[in-house]
């Protein structure tokens, strides 16, 4: 399926902050390739390049994607502003995936290699630093790219994240 994907990128200060946290990482991290998807639709979406969104890091984790048969290091984000913009876009453009949910997140490392002891230690220390600092991350410059998907992207992440959220609301 070919979709228009509306996304935002981290600003220069956020990239600098993430870069300091990821110094000495035992794997390649493409900071300049990180972005957050706001919406995916087969409709034409017009970006607003002047928007700025604030977010806080959630709990960094590794999620397996059954569609691609790869694991990715994913950083869920807490951001009412990102969620509001996604809802605004979805009101006018039919979502290609996840019609009932939007979870803001950023893929830190797609296609993560098998987790050795060094990778796990790095992931844990990065997750701890992001959570402890609670620094606001800034995302800006909406843009649209055209992507082709053979299956629903990050379906397992959405399913497990929603199941965790449901479990927390029941307890």
pLDDT tens track, the chain, 171 positions:
899 999 999 999 999 999 998 887 777 788 888 999 999 999 999 999 999 999 999 888 888 887 778 888 899 999 999 999 999 999 999 999 887 788 899 988 888 777 677 777 888 888 888 888 888 999 999 999 999 988 888 888 888 877 776 665 565
- Residue 158, domain extent: 2-170
List of residues 6+ apart from 111 with CB closer than 8 A: 68, 70, 71, 72
Token duo for residue 153: 């992207």
Number of independent structural domains in the chain:
1
**How far is the C-alpha of 87 from the C-alpha of 99, rounded, in Å?**
10
How is residue 31 written in tokens? 């900071």
- CATH assignment at residue 95: 3.90.1140
What is the model's pTM? Answer: 0.88
> CA-to-CA distance for 137 and 118, rounded, in angstroms?
26
């Amino acid at each position: 399926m070919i979709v228009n994907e509306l996304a935002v990128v981290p600003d220069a200060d956020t990239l600098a902050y993430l870069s300091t946290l990821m110094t000495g990482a035992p794997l390649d991290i493409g900071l300049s390739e990180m972005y957050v998807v706001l919406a995916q639709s087969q409709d034409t979406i017009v970006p607003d390049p002047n928007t700025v969104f604030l977010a806080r890091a959630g709990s960094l984790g590794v999620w397996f994607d059954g569609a691609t048969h790869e694991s990715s290091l994913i950083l869920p984000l807490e951001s009412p502003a990102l969620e509001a913009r996604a809802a605004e876009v979805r009101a006018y453009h039919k979502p290609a995936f996840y019609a009932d949910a939007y979870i803001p997140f950023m893929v830190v490392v797609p296609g993560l290699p098998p987790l050795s002891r060094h990778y796990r230690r790095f992931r844990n220390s990065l997750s701890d630093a992001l959570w402890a600092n609670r620094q606001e991350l800034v995302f800006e410059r909406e843009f649209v790219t055209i992507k082709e998907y053979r299956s629903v992207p990050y379906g397992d992440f959405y399913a497990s994240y929603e199941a965790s959220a449901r479990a927390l609301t029941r307890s």
